[in-house]
Structure 1
């Protein structure tokens, strides 16, 4: 598990799974009953996601290799596809409705840290 912060140090979420294997990226959150507000999933590398067979909506943040937010998609419903663009290197999937609380916008910098405080 990792934590995600804004560049200004504001903690965004502390219980995020880092998924970099091909199987984890393909499966994503399929089969999950829900996602709590303090949990998320980061998939790398990843330029596009699908929500096929999902049971709930998601807020999606695509980010560059440097952690810069390049695209955001709010309240993505099940059975949709979302393309992050050529600049996207990874994606963070959060519970639908998370965006207003996080105060993020395209261009913001995300910092990913392990529980030991090391940058990911």
Structure 2
């Protein structure tokens, strides 16, 4: 069972000791994990912040100056996105409920509306060029892993 699945199916998201057991929280309460391609074992991003509450999803990357290389933002539930009030372009992976990639969108400029993909349930936003060098393909399954865990353990 992936970290993402455990988190979303915990009805008391923020307060549960079970939630805290599986996640690393930053000072502002954001869960930080790494992203791994389950098909290859490759680490996709090492600094993935999560946006699972209404306000974190609403704010997303709006009004931020940039996004550091190697970072990403996972927004769930979120079948589609926009880049209104953003100051930079992004790359996006669209995932279904099983964390399988159902769509990829590159270089979505500020002020645009992203595509919708059948089965889309959540998105992972990367800095522009963040997924160009990655070996990810539609159909690959991703996993969100607490930075303290070793993948596969």
TM-score, normalising length from structure 2?
0.73
Alignment of 1:28 with 2:60, yes or no, is yes
Distance 1:114 1:66 in 2: 18
Deviates more, 1:5-14 or 1:83-92: 83-92
Unaligned runs of at least 5 residues, structure 1: none
Distance 1:50 1:118 in 2: 34
Secondary structure, in 3 states, of the residue corresponding to 1:59?
strand
Higher normalized strand content (fraction of residues): 1
Q: Calculate the aligned-residue CA RMSD, in Å.
A: 1.5
Partner residue, 2:77: 45
Equivalences for residues 1-120 of structure 1 within 5 A = 1-7=32-38, 8-117=40-149
CA deviation digits over 1:10-35, x for unaligned, max 9? 01111010110111111110111001
Say which one has the larger Rg: 2
TM-score, normalising length from structure 1?
0.92
